[in-house]
Structure 1
């Protein structure tokens, strides 16, 4: 089932977390996001064959005690055709490389309120590879998947299309979020555009209001960039 903008209306998420408190926290973030998910939960330490994977659109795995157990699960999920989104409070270059080498569809920074988790799960369920913008330069320069990079959908998964409100964005608002999606901070985006940081913050606020999202990450996920820095289908 799709929402009006072509996104999965309520993707089915399998949340694999060992710690009960983390499971409750992440589950609440997925259910209460701007695009809420249908959530199933499982103890991540259970063998993968015991995970309830029937009709699951995406698996969200919390990385709590090293990447190795999660990487093994990611490989098993990939073999079953289930994309995996890894969530951790701290990432290193080695961990990111290992996660994507194992077949992860996305790596996300866990925030104190779980902002953007539901939107990220929806993007991965719709067939995108995802990396939190702040992770683009973790551990030094090197090839990195861009935030919300499109991949061809398989198995009948819906394409992650942009909702109509994107057409209301101004040229400058699109430029600002193109820079944020490329990993620049607010100050760096302001410097690039030769405007004050307060001006960039104002553009960000306007975009969040127009798109009906609550965080920069959610907005970035909705703005799939063409090579010229504009969302596809604009201009």
Structure 2
């Protein structure tokens, strides 16, 4: 069972999101908060699998709350759910360590898919923002893939395999099955990849994998 907490200052929005998620028998909403500070306290108390966070809330907003959520429960994945798909919001959310970015205007099935993806250790972006994120990171590369390729060369052969599979959107469990290793081993490799590449989340790592031209092992 995937345990989720919701953070949104609008009660009706929370009710709608709860209804959508509750339609999936594998997801349980275990708490709600109306601002960022309350969210951090709630996460510290219930240690959910996923925190679904709105951006604009009174007091501590959703983006400012992400580091607090990470400190309160390092095992909790964070997915931003918002009406605002501005580049600045997307970049900041991912930079703070969010695992997913979803739009409220999207298909309800995207919401369930996104929650499941981040709960399983993967990353998820609404299709409407995915290309914008990739474009943003591409703009920061000196030359087509050159910088990314240099960073990838610092990885071991196994870490490059893990990065290539991560770049296809696979979760840690799925990568473990592909490489015939235990999931804890994959988690160790993923952590090492993040440190060596200087990234904070799977989306940033996946962009580097694509820029470097990495291909998953057969």
Alignment TM class, shorter chain as reference: 0.5 to 0.7
TM-score when scaled to structure 1?
0.54
Q: Deviations over 1:106-164 (max 9, x none)?
A: 101223662321221111011012211221233893227x997346x4xxxxx258xxx
Aligned to 1:70: 62
Q: Which of 169, 182, 188 is matched with 1:149 structurally?
A: 169
Which residue of structure 2 aligns with residue 39 of structure 1?
29
Match of residue 120 from structure 1: 114
Q: CA deviation at 1:88?
A: 1.1
Q: Which has the higher helix share?
A: 2
**Bigger relative contact order (CA 8 A; separation at least 6):** 1
Distance in 1 of aligned mates of 2:167 and 2:11: 29
Give yes or no for contact 2:90–2:133 (8 Å, CA) kept in 1. no
Distance 1:150 1:63 in 2: 26
Q: Deviations over 1:203-225 (max 9, x none)?
A: xxxxxxxxxxxxxxxxxxxxxx9
Secondary structure of 1:40's aligned partner:
strand
CA contact (8 A) 2:40 2:65 kept: no
Match of 1:22 in 2: 13
Number of residue equivalences: 152
Distance in 2, matches of 1:148 and 1:41, equals 32
Residue 73 (structure 1) shift:
1.4
Aligned residue number for residue 4 of structure 2: 13
Distance 2:17 2:108 in 1: 7
Partner of 1:59: 51
